[in-house]
Amino acid sequence: MTVKLVGFSGSLRRESLNTKLLNAAASYLPDDTELQIVSIAEIPLYDGDVEAKTGVPAAVEKVKDAIAAGDGLVIASPEYNNSVPGVLKNAIDWLSRPSSDIERVFAKRPTVVIGATPGSFGTTLAQVAWLPIMRTLGTDYWNGGRMMLPKANKAFADDGSLKDEDTAERLAKFMAGFVDCVMQSRLKQK
């Protein structure tokens, strides 16, 4: 049976390196796996008054339903000021509302954060900063590998593929490991 991953990028930029990394991940998947990429671009700033008055916006529900319909979640996160970027944290905050729906969307969901940066450290600190958030949401965070892409501004060819074969292999191995975790999780739930 096909493994269905869902992913989104935490950057809205057209030339986003994190979106490129996520797209590359979608092209280095094991057999019988697909990665549906959804966008957080339409998610507004969180406002408790809006939630109280009109509930969770349709753009948020759409992403929540996509995550819930998948077997595992892949988030490509930039690192801002050595931590998580506000745009993506805001999206996650809306996606965690109402809290009674966290179970459906995030709980026990195999999840992993990957990241790309033009800098030298590959978003290490952002990835660490996501851990307490992922724990709070009750995700089944995959710790079997890490996918960090430093110097990412030089990593992609014009067609979006990774220029360096070793990096492509590293990404393929990482995705295979994560998909393995997703399959184990599916077996446990049966």
Contacts of 99 (CB under 8 A, 6+ apart): none
Rounded least distance, CB 156 to ligand FNR, Å:
11
Q: Which residues bind ligand FNR (CB under 6 A)?
A: 11, 13, 16-18, 78-82, 117-119, 121, 123
Provide the token pair at 62. Answer: 């759409």
Provide the token pair at 91. Answer: 């999206």
Specify whether the CB–CB gap between 157 and 164 falls below 8 A: no
Rounded least distance, CB 106 to ligand FNR, Å:
23
Calculate ∠ Cα 149-153-158, nearest 5°. 110
Residue closer to ligand FNR by CB (options 138, 150) is 150
> Three-class SS of residue 164?
coil
Specify whether the CB–CB gap between 76 and 17 falls below 8 A: no
Residue closer to ligand FNR by CB (options 71, 79) is 79
Rounded least distance, CB 70 to ligand FNR, Å:
22
Rounded least distance, CB 154 to ligand FNR, Å:
12
Residue closer to ligand FNR by CB (options 11, 167) is 11
Contacts of 150 (CB under 8 A, 6+ apart): 117, 119, 120, 121, 122
